[in-house]
């Protein structure tokens, strides 16, 4: 069995396939830096840039505020929201949207 694996590893076709895969990973990784990786802001509104760190600080601040306001319910509500976000791409809707429709 090991001999079969060694023989397959030396195959020209397998080396070509691995080469194509490696080149595609390199190109997609480099394109992220060349095309859109240089922007240092999270959003731009009316020609005003909102920096990534400013955005992350605002999100963390709001999360902390909500956690203090809701107390123990925060974890439950955050878990439900995450559940809805994970199922939304599959076409699932939260139950309240189905009832209201």
Task: Report the C-alpha gap between 78 and 83 in whole angstroms.
Answer: 9
Domain-wise residue ranges, the chain: 2-35, 41-100
* pTM of the predicted structure, to 2 decimals: 0.41
* Structure confidence by residue, pLDDT tens digits, 81-99: 665 666 555 555 555 555 5
Token digits for 40? 């240092």
Tell me what the mean pLDDT of segment 53-58 comes to. Answer: 90
pLDDT at residue 26 greater than cutoff 70: yes
Which is it for the CA torsion 76, 77, 82, 87, positive or negative? positive
Phi then psi for residue 40, to 5 deg, are: -110, 25
């Amino acid at each position: 069995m090991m001999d079969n694996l060694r023989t397959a590893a030396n195959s020209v076709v397998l080396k070509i396939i691995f080469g194509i895969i490696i080149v595609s990973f390199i190109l997609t990784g480099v394109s992220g830096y060349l095309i859109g990786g240089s922007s240092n802001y999270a959003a731009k509104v009316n020609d005003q840039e909102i920096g990534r760190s400013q955005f992350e600080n605002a999100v963390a601040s709001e999360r902390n505020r909500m956690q203090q306001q809701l107390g123990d319910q925060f974890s439950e509500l955050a878990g439900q929201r995450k559940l809805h976000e994970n199922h939304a791409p599959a076409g699932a809707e939260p139950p309240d949207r189905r009832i209201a429709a």
